[in-house]
Structure 1
Amino acid sequence: MLKLKKVPIDTYPESVALLSRSCAHYRAEEFQALRKIEVMSDGNHILANLIIADDPAIVGPEELGLGEQAFRRMGLPEGTLVHIAQAPPPESLEAVRAKIDGRSLSAGQIKDIISDITAHRYSPMEIAAYLISSASFMTTAEVLALTKAMAEVGNQMTWEAPLVVDKHCIGGIPGNRTSMIVVPIVAAHGLTVPKSSSRAITSPAGTADTMEVLAQVNLTMNQMRTVVEREKGCLVWGGHVNLSPADDILISVERPLRVDSPEQMVASILSKKLAAGSTHLLIDMPIGPTAKVRDHKQAVRLRKLFEYIGDQLGLFIEVIFTDGSQPIGRGIGPVLEARDVMAVLRNEASAPADLRERALLLAGHMLDFDPQLRGGSGHGRAVEILSSGQALAAMERIIAAQGASTQKHALGEMVLDVPAPSSGVVGAIDCYRISRIARLAGAPMDKGAGIDLFKKVGDGVRQGEPLYRIYACVAADFRFSTQLAEDYSGYTIMPDRDGPRTGAKP
């Protein structure tokens, strides 16, 4: 038996175990071939990738070290006696090999794969093999089976309310923080809206990152339920609630590889909504040249897939196409986006009009789910709730119920204004480029990092006038982001045939 030791290394998403080369009870070399071991003690067990350590300060001959993720998953205190054994590869890998060979998988095979992935029996390389082989082709039956399997392996929530509404944006549009406006509007109306949101992986901010500027988002499932039952809505981080945990593992491999097929996207989104207990879902699908969905043909195909899978699951889905040609709002990054959201909720004259109108559009469609409202009156009701201050009051109650943030987040002190290279009119903004610059500036890891936009498409601009301002908190991040912006700002300036015009001011 070996004594368990916590080793402070972050190996997300993998579980890693460290064994001393001079281990007193096991020959380390015997475990090196398969590299994966099972760690066991009194009914607790995990699978972990093995690393051989030569430094006794890291792990001694009587110890087994576990990285942070593995230690947390093991759930036992340091010093607990454990034993290890070589872990055979999961049987479901045979189904992955069949998928690589171009065969369709049964619902049972897909369920076994997802179960093993959730149990951390797959390495990132094995997960990547499954994702890439599935991205090549998936039948609608496979998409349905994948969605069900992902929803069933984690927590599943049920609600007493007959109507549970939610929304999701396909993504790819910086600053599109409409959920933080839509949820309080819908909750103020009286519909149940348990909004679990993601943290950013490759974007400058997710809804959870921005909401965290204002309130606690790491709620347990019971805490989330309490908030929703009291306030009708919430805005929490889905990863902490453990809804469709397989999705979080898959995403951690998908994003670096930029593997995001329509089939996997549908399964990812709908599995979480199904696990959250939603009955009605609104999908916001922005279409634009640098958005995730590039054209109308692609959008229609994706909409039909959402509708088909939703029908099979008993989930009512409405998909609306929106403009994805440029960022929404002005702020990109948690602090700046939270500023824009609260300006809209407070009905400030300076609030971004496009963010306000997009949020009202979505909220109107969600309120039209209410059978008590006359058809088509949802938008008018959303305008009434926002303009009267009811949405702001609902947001303030949600913040208080989740726990107001005790940390004050300031904007980064390192600042650069990116100037227009010529006079004219802003003809286009590259959403992907702007997101990447904001991400390199430190967002969302540094809440105060990001970009503040001064010009939008159609605005006039003079040569040398700032297009946007970069904020960073760390010198290296500031250097990386400003260098990228200097190479290409993400803005296309067109000649103004009508002569000089004055655009939005900083």
Structure 2
Amino acid sequence: MRASGPQMLTDQPVAPHGLRVRRLGIETGGEAIVFMHADCPVARSEGFATRTRVEVHAGGRRALATLFFTTNGLLDPDEVGLPNALWRQLHAGDGDVIEVRHPQPLASMSDVRVKIYGHRLEQDRLTRIVADIATGRYSDVELAGFVTAFAGQTLDVTETAALTRAMLEAGDRLDWPDELVLDKHCVGGLPANRTTPLIVAIVTAAGFTMPKTSSRAITSPAGTADAMEVMAPVNLDLAAMRRVVEREGGCVVWGGNVRLSPADDILIGVERALDVDSEVQLVASILSKKLAAGATHVLLDLPVGATAKVRSPAEAARLSAHLVAVAAEFHLSVTPVLTDGTQPVGSGIGPALEAHDVLAVLRRAPDAPADLRERAIDLSGRILDLAGGPPGRGRAQASSILNDGRALDKFMAICEAQGGFSEPSTAPLRYTISAPRSARVAAFDNRTLARIAKLAGAPRSKSAGISLHVKLGATVARGEPIFTVHAESRGELDYALAFAAANPDVIRLASL
């Protein structure tokens, strides 16, 4: 007799219900997000809620994402909407059938909570956390918890070395045949100061190896990669980077595209959104990328000033001592140099404006910013001294290489090797702020200047930013230009000018 009523099948797995894909054309800045209709049967049966972390499977590929719901006609109940980043990652096509499931529990979040409550993390905990971050298992909320947990706690050599090692192990590594591989890093916090492209050109023209991976802007109007990108491609993969270095001795590329420290690149995105820069993660970020790039000797530039990232010589000494101590755990030589951080270095603030300054120095133009030129020569000379030449001779060698055109030739060769040189653009909209009275330039508020440049559109708008017309100690007459705001749209120019008007002491003038 056939049994009546519902039956429970226990010997066959239940196949996940598929959903049709729709590309939404939304840019999320790399954040992995998926959308479903509020009446989606899969969402209801799985118990998904807004901001649930889900695992998306498509054609053998998978990705973790944060779920949001729609209640209008954007999606049908049997559809899932993908933004551009996730669409590319999954190689999806409109109408493809994919599956959305609960991911495995994120066990390493318990380790993050340990840190949030103020405890030190051992190597195994940090390795678990960083491995999960590097594979995209953390949501932005969870990443923010990790970043802020470190931001509020004091430096510890053992813990910072463990974080550095975890970040290093999560990515690729480069090795070079040279016994001496040179590098330079600036801790940032000072607008402009675009010495890196100049230093790479000088040091490699001297015959040394300098594979430079650089960051995009975190809290500034431009990072080195942003400024370099307006002159040459920087999104090179590991193989392309190696070819450039083998051909020319050096490069200036974006570190985020070569996976030398992929967890760090993810964390930088969160730090940018929070506008914070944790010292522990700063140290781990610097050292993991230098070690992954194969560096043996690193010059560390620490600009010191009241409105720079490093406020005092005592703070610089503490941070540099921590960097040196952690680097020693990996047998990496780090030499700190304290530099003047009281005012921007160069005339331009913003990717294209900083690139114009770099080229002016390389081309020995009469109006090239002298302070950028001198700082680049000084730092290059110190790096050449690290290479083992006669002590103190490096600066003269660096000056000669810049003055006779070898640095320009090498820079152009590096640009061509990276994909071709382009002249930086100029912004279509400009407005100049003039001195309201005759006065002496007494101080710069670096942070507020950076804010104005960002409101003008930098670094997203490459030609946006600020060009400075004065330096500390200069005297100006009433009506003379102090700085010019550059923008690519009227709205951004208006935002920047309104903020500048509300902060008239961004460049403080003192009576004569």
TM-score (norm 1): 0.93
Tell me the residue number matched to 1:464.
479
Q: Distance in 2 between matches of 1:341 and 1:380?
A: 20
Matched, 1:411 2:434: no
Deviation of the 1:148 alpha carbon:
1.0
After TM superposition, the structure 1 stretch with the greater mean CA deviation from structure 2, 349-358 or 69-78, is 69-78
1:16 partner amino acid: I
Is 1:83 matched with 2:103? no
CA distance in structure 2 between the aligned counterparts of 1:34 and 1:464, rounded to whole angstroms: 54
- Code of the residue aligned with 2:472 in structure 1: it is V
Letter in 2 for 1:377: R
Partner of 1:389: 405
Residue 387 (structure 2) aligned to one of 342, 345, 370: 370
Instruction: Report the Cα distance in structure 2 between the residues aligned to 1:151 and 1:73, rounded to whole angstroms.
Output: 24
Identify the residue that residue 355 of structure 1 maps to in structure 2. 372
Cα drift, residue 32 of structure 1 = 1.5
SS at match of 1:458: coil
Give the drift of 1:130.
1.7
Which of 143, 146, 171 in structure 2 is aligned with 1:127? 143
User: What secondary structure, in the 3-state scheme, does the structure 1 residue paired with 2:410 have?
Assistant: helix
1:437-495 CA-to-partner distances (Å, cap 9, x unmatched) read 11111122222211111110011111222111111110111101111222224111122
Residue 495 of structure 1 pairs with residue 511 of structure 2: yes
The Cα shift of 1:409 comes to 4.9
Mapped partners of 2:222, 2:29: distance in 1? 20
- Pick the aligned partner of 1:173 from 176, 182, 190: 190
Distance change in 2, residues 1:61/1:383 (3 Å): same
Counterpart check, 1:159 vs 2:186 = no
Alignment partner of 1:277 out of 274, 280, 294: 294
Pairwise CA RMSD: 1.9
- Do the aligned partners of 1:36 and 1:87 also contact (CA within 8 Å) in 2? yes
SS of residue in 2 equivalent to 1:427: strand
* Counterpart residue number, 1:428: 443
Q: Which runs of 4+ in 1 moved over 6 A?
A: none
Q: Which residue of 2 aligns with 1:340?
A: 357
Deviation at 1:6, TM superposition (A): 3.0
Letter in 1 for 2:415: I
**1:475 is aligned with what amino acid?**
R
1:53 corresponding residue in structure 2: 70
Which whole-Å CA distance do the structure 1 matches of 2:144 and 2:51 have between them?
19
2:254 to 226, 237, 253: 237
1:443 to 445, 452, 458: 458
- How many angstroms apart in 2 are the aligned matches of 1:25 and 1:434? 50
Determine whether 1:3 maps to 2:20: yes
CA contact (8 A) 1:282 1:366 kept: yes
- Deviates further, 426-435 or 198-207: 198-207
* Change beyond 3 A, Cα 1:263–1:23: closer
Quote the offset at 1:270 in angstroms. 1.0
Structure 2: gaps (5+ residues): 1-17
Q: CA deviation at 1:78?
A: 4.8
SS at match of 2:338: strand
Shift of 1:88: 4.5
Contact map agreement 1:202 1:255 (CA 8 A) in 2: yes
Q: How does 1:33-112 map to 2 (within 5 A)?
A: 35-41=52-58, 43-56=60-73, 58-112=74-128
Q: Report deviation, 1:34.
A: 7.0
Change in Cα spacing, 1:104 to 1:399, as seen in structure 2 (3 Å) is same
Contact 1:21 1:28 in 2 (8 A): no
Scaled by the length of structure 2, the TM-score of the pair is 0.92
Larger radius of gyration: 2
SS state at 2:365 partner: coil
Q: Distance in 1 between matches of 2:42 and 2:307?
A: 57
Shift of 1:142: 1.1
Whole-Å separation in 2 of the counterparts to 1:346 and 1:203 = 26
Aligned partners of 2:147, 2:261: CA distance in 1, in Å? Answer: 17
**Is the Cα contact below 8 Å between 1:14 and 1:120 reproduced in 2?**
no
Helix, strand or coil at the partner of 2:345: coil
Which of 376, 382, 399 aligns to 2:415? It is 399
Matched residue count: 493
Paired residue type of 2:466 = I
| Aligned counterpart, 1:502 | none
Q: Distance in 2 between matches of 1:300 and 1:79?
A: 59
Which residue number in structure 2 is paired with residue 301 of structure 1?
A: 318
- Give CA deviations for 1:50-84 in whole Å, capped at 9, x if unaligned: 1223445x433443322222233334555543322
Deviation at 1:258, TM superposition (A): 3.3
For the residue of structure 2 that corresponds to 1:285, the secondary structure is strand
Residue 313 of structure 1: SS of its match in structure 2? coil
Shift of the 272–77 alpha-carbon distance from structure 1 to 2, 3 Å rule, reads: farther
8 Å CA contact retained: 2:218, 2:275? no
Which amino acid letter does the alignment assign opposite residue 103 of structure 2? A
Equivalence for 1:503? none
Structure 2 match to 1:225: 242
For 2:146, give the aligned amino acid.
Y
* Alpha-carbon contact 2:215-2:256 (below 8 Å) kept: yes
CA contact (8 A) 1:420 1:461 kept: yes
Alpha-carbon offset, residue 150 of structure 1 = 1.0
Determine helix, strand or coil for the equivalent of 2:442.
strand
Percent of paired sites with the same residue: 44
2-structure distance, mates of 1:391, 1:278: 21
Inter-partner Cα distance in structure 2 for 1:445 and 1:13: 15
Stretch of structure 1 that moved more, 321-330 or 74-83: 74-83
After superposition, give the CA deviation of every residue in 1:265-309 in whole Å (9 maximum; x if it has no partner).
Answer: 101111111111111111100000100000011011001101001
Distance 1:6 1:271 in 2: 36
In structure 1, what residue type is equivalent to 2:385?
D
Cα shift readout 1:220-246 (whole Å, capped 9, x = no counterpart): 111111111000111111112222111
Unpaired runs of 5+ in structure 1? 497-506
